[in-house]
């Protein structure tokens, strides 16, 4: 996953061993033990690699133990160090209490990935939940339901035929007669495709914000196509050739799509009180 990574050792604390003498410069009390936190990092810390120590003389610089001594080598070469140094290493590890930040920091990336994964799962669950709720409400409409829809200006009566633009608005169910929903359209419309919840927030939900003449909308069209198919009036139906059996049994044949219910992707397209 990561091609560029580094091993980082950050000093946590240090102590001088009072009674220890340097084997090189023979000075007393100059041997220092440093405790580090070690971790692998790819720009940011990925995972912790424990708390290694180093031992050196502050006077002459003689290095007794490198911070990079592998853990296994350390275990086998314990005899190399004097009892005073072994004790000092033990004490510095036992006495240094890491702050929460020092415990968490080496694992930054793992923690971020974990959080991202949990957020992803929660979002996926909530999108699925909203989508199934939408489908359920679209299939079982109730009077008063408000649908968020996008309309193509091409479908509007006073459409400007020079190119079509998407607008969004609300439709409200005022009556239900079998497969026919009587719906009124909000007087307002706003340009856009309406894929975000907040894009519908500007519309009033009050009754007087809706037109008074209802559209006759096919329930089948909503449930199956996620589109608002408006039935033609009787005069237009009479003028259509109805001899074709298939056509006459397909209710959508006598209607036209006037609006679409936008792709769910987690948005609540039906409002029910």
The residue ranges that bind Zn ion (CB under 5 A) are 22, 24-25, 57, 59-60, 62
Closest distance to Zn ion from the beta carbon of 88 (Å): 16
- As a whole number of angstroms, the distance between CA 6 and CA 67 comes to 15
Both tokens of residue 231?
């039935």
Closest distance to Zn ion from the beta carbon of 46 (Å): 36
Radius of gyration of the chain, Cα coordinates, nearest whole angstrom: 37
Cβ distance to Zn ion smaller for residue 15 or 225: 15
Q: 3-state class of 95 per DSSP?
A: helix
Cβ distance to Zn ion smaller for residue 24 or 43: 24
Closest distance to Zn ion from the beta carbon of 82 (Å): 14
Cβ distance to Zn ion smaller for residue 18 or 224: 18
Asked if 232 contacts 256 with a C-beta cutoff of 8 angstroms, the reply is yes
Cβ distance to Zn ion smaller for residue 64 or 146: 64
- As a whole number of angstroms, the distance between CA 21 and CA 27 comes to 6
Closest CA to 222 of 165, 152, 269: 269
Cβ distance to Zn ion smaller for residue 57 or 228: 57
- As a whole number of angstroms, the distance between CA 49 and CA 39 comes to 5
Cβ distance to Zn ion smaller for residue 62 or 96: 62
**Looking at 159-254, which runs of residues are DSSP E strands?**
166-177, 180-185, 190-191, 215-218, 227-231
- As a whole number of angstroms, the distance between CA 98 and CA 101 comes to 8
Q: 179 to each of 17, 74, 148, 205, how far by Cα in Å?
A: 89, 80, 20, 25
Asked if 96 contacts 63 with a C-beta cutoff of 8 angstroms, the reply is no
Closest distance to Zn ion from the beta carbon of 22 (Å): 3
């Amino acid at each position: 996953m990561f091609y560029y990574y580094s091993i980082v050792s950050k000093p946590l604390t240090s102590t001088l061993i009072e009674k220890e003498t340097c084997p090189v410069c023979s000075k007393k009390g100059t041997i220092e033990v440093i405790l580090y936190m070690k971790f692998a990092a790819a720009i940011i810390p990925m995972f912790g690699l424990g708390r290694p120590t180093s031992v050196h003389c502050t006077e002459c610089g003689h290095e007794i133990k490198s911070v990079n001594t592998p853990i296994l080598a350390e275990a086998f070469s314990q005899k190399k160090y004097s009892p005073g140094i072994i004790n000092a290493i033990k004490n510095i590890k036992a006495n240094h209490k890491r702050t929460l930040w020092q415990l968490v920091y080496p694992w930054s990336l793992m923690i971020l990935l974990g959080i991202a994964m949990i957020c992803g799962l929660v979002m996926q669950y909530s999108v699925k939940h909203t989508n199934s709720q939408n489908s359920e409400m679209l299939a079982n409409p109730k009077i008063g339901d408000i649908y968020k829809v996008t309309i193509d200006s091409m479908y509007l009566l006073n459409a400007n035929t020079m190119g079509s633009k998407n607008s969004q608005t609300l439709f409200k169910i005022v009556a239900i007669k079998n497969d026919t929903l009587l719906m009124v359209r909000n007087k307002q419309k706003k340009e856009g495709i309406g894929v975000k919840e907040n894009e519908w927030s500007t519309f009033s939900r009050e009754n007087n914000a809706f037109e008074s003449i209802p559209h006759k909308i096919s329930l089948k069209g909503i449930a199956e196509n996620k589109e608002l198919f408006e039935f033609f009036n009787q005069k237009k139906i009479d003028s259509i050739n109805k001899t074709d059996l298939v056509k006459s049994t397909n209710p959508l044949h006598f209607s036209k799509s006037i609006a679409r219910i936008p792709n769910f992707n987690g948005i609540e397209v039906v409002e029910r009180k």
